[in-house]
Structure 1
């Protein structure tokens, strides 16, 4: 038995995988990655792949960036761990909190660190409840999220997520969570409805839900500036200002989940800015360390921070935290990661090379299987349809998308199928020539599936 076969057998026997059909995995087995270099990863057989999803929307600097490894080594040797409980902290977490607040240009006031975006959104739910209890608004606890939105997998975060497979047989969502329509004009618009009119209708639907539930019971609205795992859904230009205006009318807090869009992904440091979002909370993770270390951050504005601080004084403590909150190694890596993003002007690269990616992907729109191409910067999706005129999806849903993703992987390109949308999210360091390779491989893969169909 080869080493590769032994590893595969061990994996099948002993590891339960995330978002995987565990029964099928026992037959299919894993693709085992061994090393990475730039935008590429290599499996144990030596095959090279373009990592067209940045791992999980997250490896901004690509794989094997030596400066991040060195930052982790230095911090490991200096102070490998310390916590942020009981008036204690460490130097990297202080510096990172200051850096993050600076990057928001003063819109946010304080940072709270967690290990993942799921934990961060779970923390925000608790903070929202804590905030309203502090103000004596003990009924104002409901949080409105969106169908197809993605906010994590913990009990509260999975409840916010608007995808059925995160709820089914997990006894979710929690009773305090509601969901409104996904802002996907391509599929959700009424005949002849403009994008602006569609945004008006969604804002009216949000307002109707708040009024129906009772404004005194609705605490917050959460959304990603651009939906990621729900299919890379880019909302109409006027959507966020209109949704936000409804929230302000009823004193509903606004939560911007920037786990995927933060740190340059859209060609802006944070996507809240171009979409006109002025959040009370921001969720950051993934590209904060290029996923070289597990880390996430909750950013809160002064309005929220001052209430939390005062109420913790009344109670004697803010009774929430994690062992690894503000972990010195993770925060040291984050600081170096952000420094590299700024030094190498990777936000500008995402805007410039991202425009080329979007243009080349939109050139696929005439393909008989392609219904819609959408995205911004270095995040995009190509949606495959069975009928371009009616925009009808394939049956069963996801069957053709899965075929294209598998064909692409066979061709040396890793993408992600979301139903019949193929998501693309390469590292921020990708070059124009590498974009050509990525899009060329994707087109070949779609063509191969089209011939087979």
Structure 2
């Protein structure tokens, strides 16, 4: 008989492979086991309480332990625990949620397609873009452009869109149809004497140069987050979107706005699309859609995208794509209730009210040793750290700071050496101060260590 370890930690090490972890290191250090959560806090198996400064994975908008979402899930489980949306079938929650999302959309949209994660939503967007190109008799128009340091997921196609080397290394990615253009990170990418406006214009020119180099007739779409999240919380420089969008329109290139992190209030508007005046043809949504209480995501497409796809499915006789859990009734019911909470409690207005405190305290971290840049908008931000010795290995300093934050009772996430802050939208001004007080103590502890 195989021996089964007794503790949760030991069983985890024995049986589970973790995302975004060094598997060998995990065998040595083991996991932190999170046992429960309430509001902006979570508690580990040993009873230690933490401020969840990342809202889980950028996603628990209404906080942990929201009973209305638990009750919504239970009611739907009793009524209809599962059904699908294949082959001319549907159910009430998916219809209601699709209608709700179309009504909320920041620009006119025609249809919603449900998936289970942001990765799947972006992956599906690529498939629909290729399908549409074939429907229009443009089989050569298949290339997709995204940006260095962008993050769009981890499926084969969406990981190819992602512009982070460690999402490509040893996975044989990116696939050939995906190209990457300049990251809009002003501090690391600008040239001497180039202000933000000039840098933004050069980013747009780099994009146009890539389009011309590849051939405009081969470029189908451009994917971008309104504000880059997992690539380091990169806020677009002044004039960036005003310079980029005309390039896309000039060459009739579809624009896909990845709102997986920005959507539902994070930037101080319901959508990042509104915050930056974007005009996308497709929008991907997830995370705060259900506050991640259950997996669900959505792809919104406008009529320009939908009509050729509908024609092609009619020509073939079927739209040959789908997921077992697409529009899952329980996940859809939870998402609907979550959106009600966001609206009823006016959480977007709350973000606008408290974000000046958040951004002020974030900026004040630059007064700490090792912090070389802070950047953010709304209730999302990052503090980048540097040390001449510890930064020789990218990410090594970030890991130390992350561990110091945990010791203080704060959960952050180091993206190499950028420390992210993305708390639940319900966070209060007092709790913002508490969070950054812990961050300051953690940074000071690392700076003073021998």
**After TM superposition, is the score higher than 0.5?**
yes
Structure 1 residues 198 and 106: CA distance shift in structure 2, 3 A? closer
Deviation readout 1:102-140 (Å, 9 max, x if unpaired): 111552111000000111111000000001110000000
Instruction: Supply the distance in 2 between the matched residues of 1:204 and 1:106 (Cα, whole angstroms).
Output: 26
User: Is the 2:387–2:397 contact (alpha carbons within 8 Å) kept by the matching residues of 1?
Assistant: no
User: Is the 1:4–1:45 contact (alpha carbons within 8 Å) kept by the matching residues of 2?
Assistant: no
1:410 paired residue number: 407
SS in 2 for 1:326: coil
SS in 2 for 1:273: helix
User: Is the 2:267–2:275 contact (alpha carbons within 8 Å) kept by the matching residues of 1?
Assistant: no
User: Is the 2:106–2:273 contact (alpha carbons within 8 Å) kept by the matching residues of 1?
Assistant: no
Instruction: Supply the distance in 1 between the matched residues of 2:100 and 2:137 (Cα, whole angstroms).
Output: 33
Q: Offset of 1:365 from its aligned partner?
A: 2.1
For structure 1, the 5+ residue unaligned runs are none
2:449 equivalent among 440, 448, 452: 452
Q: Offset of 1:347 from its aligned partner?
A: 0.8
2:294 paired residue number: 293
Instruction: Supply the distance in 1 between the matched residues of 2:204 and 2:10 (Cα, whole angstroms).
Output: 52
1:217 paired residue number: 218
Instruction: Supply the distance in 1 between the matched residues of 2:356 and 2:301 (Cα, whole angstroms).
Output: 32
Instruction: Supply the distance in 2 between the matched residues of 1:368 and 1:168 (Cα, whole angstroms).
Output: 33
Normalising by structure 2, we get a TM-score of 0.97
* Deviates most, 404-413 or 233-242: 233-242
Instruction: Supply the distance in 2 between the matched residues of 1:282 and 1:440 (Cα, whole angstroms).
Output: 36
2:314 paired residue number: 313
SS in 1 for 2:392: coil
Instruction: Supply the distance in 1 between the matched residues of 2:22 and 2:417 (Cα, whole angstroms).
Output: 18
SS in 1 for 2:272: coil
SS in 1 for 2:203: helix
Structure 1 residues 393 and 298: CA distance shift in structure 2, 3 A? farther
SS in 1 for 2:332: helix
User: Is the 1:247–1:253 contact (alpha carbons within 8 Å) kept by the matching residues of 2?
Assistant: yes
1:137-286 superposed matches below 5 A: 137-286=138-287
1:374 paired residue number: 375
Instruction: Supply the distance in 2 between the matched residues of 1:346 and 1:285 (Cα, whole angstroms).
Output: 17
SS in 2 for 1:255: strand
Instruction: Supply the distance in 2 between the matched residues of 1:29 and 1:145 (Cα, whole angstroms).
Output: 35
1:438 paired residue number: 435
User: Is the 1:237–1:275 contact (alpha carbons within 8 Å) kept by the matching residues of 2?
Assistant: no
Q: Offset of 1:350 from its aligned partner?
A: 1.3
Q: CA RMSD in A?
A: 1.5
2:352 paired residue number: 351
Normalising by structure 1, we get a TM-score of 0.97
User: Is the 2:107–2:279 contact (alpha carbons within 8 Å) kept by the matching residues of 1?
Assistant: no
Instruction: Supply the distance in 2 between the matched residues of 1:4 and 1:186 (Cα, whole angstroms).
Output: 49
1:426 aligns with 2:427: no
2:340 paired residue number: 339
Tell me the number of residue pairs that the alignment of Structure 1 and Structure 2 aligns. Answer: 447
For structure 2, the 5+ residue unaligned runs are none
User: Is the 1:369–1:385 contact (alpha carbons within 8 Å) kept by the matching residues of 2?
Assistant: yes
- Runs of 4+ displaced beyond 4 Å: none
User: Is the 2:107–2:280 contact (alpha carbons within 8 Å) kept by the matching residues of 1?
Assistant: no
Deviation readout 1:357-410 (Å, 9 max, x if unpaired): 0011112222232211111111000111347xxxx9921122222111110101
Instruction: Supply the distance in 2 between the matched residues of 1:290 and 1:232 (Cα, whole angstroms).
Output: 20
User: Is the 1:221–1:254 contact (alpha carbons within 8 Å) kept by the matching residues of 2?
Assistant: yes
Instruction: Supply the distance in 1 between the matched residues of 2:165 and 2:418 (Cα, whole angstroms).
Output: 17
Deviation readout 1:153-188 (Å, 9 max, x if unpaired): 000000100111111111111010000111000111
Structure 1 residues 30 and 299: CA distance shift in structure 2, 3 A? same
* Deviates most, 251-260 or 98-107: 98-107
Q: Offset of 1:4 from its aligned partner?
A: 11
Deviation readout 1:86-114 (Å, 9 max, x if unpaired): 11101011010111111115521110000
Instruction: Supply the distance in 2 between the matched residues of 1:6 and 1:418 (Cα, whole angstroms).
Output: 30
2:12 paired residue number: 11
1:53-72 superposed matches below 5 A: 53-72=54-73
Instruction: Supply the distance in 1 between the matched residues of 2:385 and 2:239 (Cα, whole angstroms).
Output: 26
SS in 1 for 2:7: helix
User: Is the 2:221–2:255 contact (alpha carbons within 8 Å) kept by the matching residues of 1?
Assistant: yes
Instruction: Supply the distance in 2 between the matched residues of 1:198 and 1:264 (Cα, whole angstroms).
Output: 28
User: Is the 1:53–1:426 contact (alpha carbons within 8 Å) kept by the matching residues of 2?
Assistant: yes
2:323 paired residue number: 322
Instruction: Supply the distance in 2 between the matched residues of 1:234 and 1:198 (Cα, whole angstroms).
Output: 13
SS in 1 for 2:176: coil
Instruction: Supply the distance in 2 between the matched residues of 1:31 and 1:109 (Cα, whole angstroms).
Output: 44
Instruction: Supply the distance in 2 between the matched residues of 1:363 and 1:144 (Cα, whole angstroms).
Output: 36
Instruction: Supply the distance in 2 between the matched residues of 1:315 and 1:370 (Cα, whole angstroms).
Output: 57
1:136 paired residue number: 137
